[in-house]
Structure 1
Amino acid sequence: MTDPVRTFLEQQGFLVLDGGLATELESSGCDLSDELWSAQALLDAPDAVRTAHRRYLEAGADCIATATYQATFEGFRARGLEEADTTRLLEHAVEIAVSARDDFMSDLSISAGRLRPLVAASIGPYGAFLADGSEYRGDYGLSAADLYDFHAPRWQVLAETAADLLACETTPSVEEARAYCRLAAVSHRPTWISFQCRDRAHLADGTPLETAVALCDAEPHVVAVGVNCTDPGLTVSLIGAARRATGKPILVYPNSGEVWDAEAKRWTGAANPVDWARSAAEWLAAGADGIGGCCRVGPSAIAAIRARTASSRRTVTSEG
């Protein structure tokens, strides 16, 4: 198995992730109020998805995540799609991202000096399919075996695409992490697992982050771990907790600090005033290997992360 994250880090020393895909789609005028959320754009506005990927690449992202976070066989079946149609949509989502990446690299006026960005096939948690906010609670009442069965059909399709790796995002439950580890082992595909955390040390379901990360550390096909869609103020502590359980790369991509209201289907509360450039330097110093943003974090933040991350790594290299 080729480890694309480790290979990238060995060549560049850091990995800049993209920001919130749904956030950028909404800013371009897409209506994502449907329960399919960003996956709705695969049906209604695939060109907008391609444009959003391109904007993040131009901002400095080394890795873009596909619009498959909330794309499931069950969700599309409720819209009347046959299994073959859903399979094609999943494949097309990866094709859109790969095409955006390849077009970006062919434009040497903006890609000169950049390594070939990675494409991560995004896999959202069971709670994302439910569309009731349970990805921030993890209280599914399902076993790892149940969750394996739910995720397996989509996983099997995405594992056969040209994506560089699979990205399990906003994972709130240790049982879901168990299912992902088993799927990674069966498919032999490089995978990262990123957790949703309720505080400085615990997953949304109350499991210590160290416990969940140690589970991932034991599976060779899980090539990186992370935290995402958490308050940025928790990030330094969560990096420390993850690092105590693994030597694998750590990826962090917090949200804006606002809170998702599942009933109203909108973000509420005040955004945490984040200086993304300064925070990127702080998170690198704490032990992060990849940095980006999640919900309510757009290309301008990714550009700031890129500039500071590259500068920080150059400083370390020159001093070394």
Structure 2
Amino acid sequence: MSETNFTILDGGMGRELHRMGAPFKQPEWSALALMAAPDTVTRAHQRFADAGAEVITTNSYALVPFHIGEAKFKAEGRFLADLAGGLARKVADGSKRKVLVAGSLPPLFGSYRPDLVDEAKAPAIIRPLIDGLSPHVDLWLAETQSCLAEARFARQTLSEDKRAFWVSFTLDDDNPDLTRPKLRSGECVAAVVTAMLELGVDAILFNCSQPEIMAGAVDAARSVRDARGSEARIGVYANAFPPQRDEAANKGLSNIRADLTPDRYAEFAMDWRERGAHIIGGCCGIGPEHIAALKAMQD
């Protein structure tokens, strides 16, 4: 793939649902719309597809006990994952151009919480998600991973699945050294990328962090990838929030940066592309208008 081409992801589903007036609050977050008004999820997917997204991500990010509760997850987790997958699949299949569906495998124990990762409890959470999503998705996306352990677990769980496996890490927004990016766990990006390439992932992305810090992560990932002779792709989908900590990320709505207009976001995206990112979209607060600006870049 040439340096001028890239695949366009969708944007932040949760904030788009909120903007549409869908049922939306913590702790359920984006799962509430799926449970109470699934038609709004379909319309949100459609908005991103119409804006130019070539990959839409299932609305399964909040389908974990952390958000919907242990009892609800045990009783309905697989059903809701199947519903989320089916809604995205319907929009993709109805598109006039090719649109892929990425099955979102979220942080199983809460966003930005590497301290809560428990591999002994993880199988009981990830398996219903995989089983529900599997009939509908073209590829897997383990996203907003804050430490290597949770990403490694997701990859190993799907090691026998022949579909592409993408993994996306959230970065430490407060790290003052932009040339040495690290995850929210404190692990350095270069070491994490090395470990994931050894597990045979198809793409390594960075998401749910400030756009200003993504360039260093792309540089680090590309350096490791090229040194290993890997063909894994690199991607970015940043958020539109001020720097976030775990207590803010899991408690309520954050303010959207007024300066991160679609044109400004496209400027960041152009830089990421020139550095070697070939998958670009948006996370929290990045809407269809931003995705349309990426599409204009591609055209």
Normalised-by-shorter TM-score class: 0.7 to 0.9
Distance in 2 (CA, whole Å) between partners of 1:190 and 1:82 is 28
| Structure 1 residue aligned with 2:145 | 171
Q: Deviations over 1:74-98 (max 9, x none)?
A: 7556464654x33222111111111
Q: Secondary structure at the match of 1:267?
A: coil
Q: Deviations over 1:167-193 (max 9, x none)?
A: 111000111112022112143442111
Distance in 1 (CA, whole Å) between partners of 2:65 and 2:251 is 25
Q: Is structure 2 residue 191 aligned with structure 1 residue 236?
A: no
Distance 1:141 1:78, change over 3 A: closer
45, 48, 51: which one aligns with 2:40: 48
Distance in 1 (CA, whole Å) between partners of 2:120 and 2:223 is 28
Q: Is structure 2 residue 199 aligned with structure 1 residue 219?
A: yes
Give me the TM-score of the superposition, normalised by structure 1. Answer: 0.81
1:139 is matched by which residue type in structure 2?
Answer: D
Q: Secondary structure at the match of 1:169?
A: strand
149, 155, 158: which one aligns with 1:181: 155
Distance in 1 (CA, whole Å) between partners of 2:38 and 2:67 is 18
Larger helix percent: 1
Q: How does 1:1-320 map to 2 (within 5 A)?
A: 13-72=5-64, 76=68, 78=70, 80=72, 83=75, 85-105=76-96, 114=97, 116-128=98-110, 135-140=111-116, 142=118, 144-158=119-133, 160-198=134-172, 199=175, 200=178, 201-220=181-200, 222-246=201-225, 247=230, 248-260=232-244, 261-262=248-249, 264-268=251-255, 270=257, 273=260, 275-308=264-297, 310-311=298-299
Q: Deviations over 1:293-317 (max 9, x none)?
A: 1001101111001111x14xxxxxx
Distance 1:257 1:86, change over 3 A: closer
Q: Deviations over 1:23-76 (max 9, x none)?
A: 110111023213121111111111000000000011110000011011136755
Q: Deviations over 1:205-233 (max 9, x none)?
A: 0001111111111123x211100001000
Distance 1:153 1:19, change over 3 A: same
Distance 1:263 1:117, change over 3 A: closer
1:167 is matched by which residue type in structure 2?
Answer: L
Q: Secondary structure at the match of 2:87?
A: helix
Structure 1 window deviating more from structure 2 (182-191 vs 294-303): it is: 182-191
1:179 is matched by which residue type in structure 2?
Answer: F
Distance 1:20 1:74, change over 3 A: closer
Distance in 2 (CA, whole Å) between partners of 1:41 and 1:72 is 15
Give me the TM-score of the superposition, normalised by structure 2. Answer: 0.86
**Gapped runs of 5+ residues in structure 2?**
none
**Gapped runs of 5+ residues in structure 1?**
1-8, 106-113, 129-134, 312-320
Distance in 2 (CA, whole Å) between partners of 1:256 and 1:299 is 13
